[in-house]
Amino acid sequence: MAGISDLPFRSLNRRFGCEFAFVEMINARSLGYRGRKTQQMLSCAEKDRPLGIQLLAGENKWLARALDIVEEYDFDLLDFNAACPARKVIRRGEGAGLLKEPRKLYSLLKLMVNASSRPVSVKLRTGWDEHSLNCADAARYAEDAGVSAVFIHGRTKEQGYGGSVDYGAIAGVKRAVSVPVIASGDVLSPESAVKMFRETGCDGILVARGALGNPWIFRRIYRRLSGGREEKWPSTDEICSVMKEHFDACVDFYGEKNGVVIFRKFFAWYTKGMRHVRALREKACHVRSREEMYLLIAGILAPENER
Ligand SMILES: Cc1cc2nc3c(=O)[nH]c(=O)nc-3n(C[C@H](O)[C@H](O)[C@H](O)COP(=O)(O)O)c2cc1C
């Protein structure tokens, strides 16, 4: 997830059972400039494996240059994004915009497969809108180009991140190709993970928003899939302890000033659904120092919030 899946986030989720992760999506053009932010996005740790990188591109020239640079790193999988619905991305003919141009998508994927020493995959959506559900065709094109797996978010570009997931369209992709299909969309609980496998016949699932402030989701899903006893919900104590661990990792990685700002949104996600924390959540939007964030996290456990 762009803006989310940084090293601190991935490291925490790995500890809870996340088996495969991606660094944040990188625009092929910015990779060429080798800026500080991009370098930070590319950093990983020994235990942060297996790890994929996802590229966003609309032109062969930029993609080829980016792939040269990617070869200097040791990623386990190279994914191509044909799913991002952001307006500025579509305007450049990138992301989900490529669903309207399957030949161009094919040529970009072919270039990527030929240039990379690592397996290549593609991330698709079900189509541009409900009148053009072409993901099965796009997946076939991708397979012909040589991809080793297809990731599919079961919504159209027009749906963005709302509306219901089209399990039938994902099942259609699974029938259309013989490479593994990894399904995405509203995998928010063990129940929805089971549903995704059952309704689509997919080979794997992607957890996205379900992991925001909720690394426990990985353990809960594994337990359910392996027929084990249901994992209990974490106590408020445990949530606070994980929050602190995540926050410390952010500050270590980005420095205090940026780490605190980056963690603000996570404070809101970790405390979602908790009672009596509204004031703390509001304060979290303005926190500037490590000490202030510690106080807010400790405040969750204060007696007046335990009512
Ligand atoms: C904040 C955010 C950032 C995302 N960034 C990316 C991205 O960079 N690349 C990508 O392929 N999908 C991205 N996604 C989409 C997710 O991978 C996933 O396919 C989508 O959110 C549907 O799954 P969910 O309903 O379980 O969240 C992003 C989603 C969110 C919410």
**Number of independent structural domains in the chain:** 2
> Nearest 5°: phi and psi at 121?
-135, 175
Ligand 1 proximity of 281 Cβ (cutoff 6 Å): no
- pLDDT of 56 strictly over 80: yes
Catalytic residue among 84, 202, 240, 250: 84
The residue contributing the CA closest to ligand 1 atom 3 is 1
Average of per-residue pLDDT values in the chain: 95
Asked whether residue 85 falls in the same domain as residue 185, the answer is yes
pLDDT at 303: 64
What tens digit of pLDDT does each residue of 28-53 get?
999 988 888 898 999 999 999 999 99
> Are 96 and 123 spatial neighbours (Cβ–Cβ below 8 Å)?
no
Whether ligand 1 lies within 6 angstroms of the CB of 27 is answered as: no
Domain region containing 281: 236-305
d(CA 3, ligand 1 centre) in Å:
10
- pLDDT tens, residue by residue, 113-122: 999 999 999 9
Which residues on neighbouring strands pair with residue 79, listed in sequence order?
Answer: 54, 121
Q: Does the Cβ of 82 fall within 6 Å of ligand 1?
A: no
The answer to whether residues 128 and 260 belong to one domain is: no
- More confidently predicted of 38 and 207: 207
- 84 annotated active-site: yes
Strand partners, 151: 123, 182
Query: Does 260 lie in the same domain as 178?
Result: no
Query: Taking Cα atoms as reference points, which of 161, 150, 169 lies closest to residue 109?
Result: 150
Which of 163, 194, 225 is the last residue before a domain boundary? 225
The CATH code of the domain that includes 196 is 3.20.20.70
User: Percentage of the chain surpassing pLDDT 90?
Assistant: 91
Location of structure tokens 């991009």: 38
Please indicate, yes or no, whether the overall pTM of this predicted structure exceeds 0.85.
Answer: yes
295 Cβ closer than 6 Å to some ligand 1 atom? no
Does a structural domain hold residue 209? yes
For residue 208, the CA-to-ligand 1 centroid distance in Å is: 6
For ligand 1, the distance from its centroid to the CA atom of residue 123, given in whole angstroms, is: 10
Q: Is the CB of 110 under 6 A from ligand 1?
A: no
Q: How far is the CA of 227 from the centre of ligand 1 (A)?
A: 28
